[in-house]
Amino acid sequence: MNLRRCGLIAPVFRLVTHHRGFPDPVHCIGMLREFAAQLGTHLLDVLFPQACMLCGEAVCGAGLCAGCYGRIEKIRGPVCIRCGAAFSSPYGGNHLCGDCITRRVHYDCVRSAGVYAGELRRAIQQFKFNRRSMLAEPLAELAAGSCEPIGPHRGYAALVPVPLHLHRLRHRGYNQSLLLALYLGRQWDLPVERDYLRRTIWSVSQTSLRRSQRRRAVRGAFTCSSSRYTGKRLLLIDDVFTSGATVDECARTLKRYGAAAVDVLTVARTLRDHSECQ
């Protein structure tokens, strides 16, 4: 416990014992309440210390320790200016990759914070499948700090989490993309659309599917509740960028309902092959 915070007792004691006349009771009560709240918080930290959700080491707050966070492999430039794929050479500037030159996509810009491997893969799997919802904050912070040129300066009308089908939502208990979006919305002071984009068609897990199969599996799977974002720029939020099929179909749907531009921000991305790595 940080004993310096206990210094609130002294002003209260002096106020009560040395004040000429009766002290302001509202002032005394306010200071005592603040001290009690801080004391209670630190007592809880002593009795029930926070631990890293990956290695179990003690941490100051919920989430990951400095060691696990430091071992996350960040995606750094140069990258494709559209899909965010990392190029093998660290030299040169950002430019279009071969896929984006030859293949039409509906999103405008994708950025991901790190490679879906090692500690980051473990953290996202804990977040998605083991009900570790408290990982939303450190994962969202990681994404927010590694997403140039994506950010609040881009003039987004809203953040739109990639939705889950109702069956999967009931099974998992929460939409991990929504939790990430809610934290980013508070940090960037942007509204979050919980139900604007909906998934109406159920599909099996895409883990074992090839890219072409993934695109067919999500075709027509989404719809929007209205066209109120006509002419606006939106930011899609998801946890992992794999083939891009899901976010591309989401972007296609959002633009079909009037969105002028759709960017995508994910915490991690898988590497397609050995040529895409940093």
Residue 208 or 148, more confident: 148
> In terms of pLDDT, which residue wins out, 3 or 156?
156
Which of 217-247 are b and which e, b meaning 16 or more Cβ less than 10 Å from the residue's Cβ?
bbeebbebeeeebeebbbbbbbbbbbbbbbb
Q: Model-level pTM?
A: 0.79
Q: What is the mean pLDDT of residues 116-132?
A: 93
pLDDT of residue 110: 97
Verify cis geometry, omega within 30 degrees of 0, for the bond prior to 149: yes
For the stretch 152-193, pLDDT in tens is: 999 999 999 999 999 889 888 999 999 999 999 999 999 999
Residue 277: predicted pLDDT:
41
pLDDT band at 137 (very low <50, low <70, confident <90, very high): very high
Q: How far is CA 55 from each of CA 9, 69, 92, 107, rounded to the nearest angstrom?
A: 38, 11, 37, 37
Rounded CA gap, 24 and 260, in Å? 58
Q: What is the overall mean pLDDT for the chain?
A: 83
Where are the domains positioned within the chain? 3-47, 70-269
pLDDT of 121? 96
Name the band, by pLDDT with cuts 50, 70 and 90, for residue 122.
very high
Other Cβ atoms less than 10 A from the Cβ of 89: the count is 9
Per-residue tokens: 274: 């050995």
Closest CA to 147 of 192, 113, 96, 120: 113
9-54 pLDDT, tens digit per residue, is 444 444 444 444 545 555 556 656 665 655 555 555 555 567 888 8
Helices (H), 111-165: 118-129, 136-144
Q: Is residue 151 classed as helix, strand or coil in its secondary structure?
A: coil
Per CATH, the number for 70-269 is 3.40.50
Rounded average pLDDT over 91-111 = 92
The number of residues making up the chain comes to 278
Q: Are 259 and 105 in contact (CB under 8 A)?
A: no
Please determine, for residue 256, whether its predicted confidence score (pLDDT) is greater than 90: yes
Q: How far is CA 245 from the centre of its chain?
A: 19
pLDDT for position 213:
73
The pLDDT value recorded for residue 208 is 60
- φ, ψ for residue 198, nearest 5 deg: -125, 145
pLDDT in tens, 43-78: 555 555 678 888 888 787 667 888 998 999 999 879
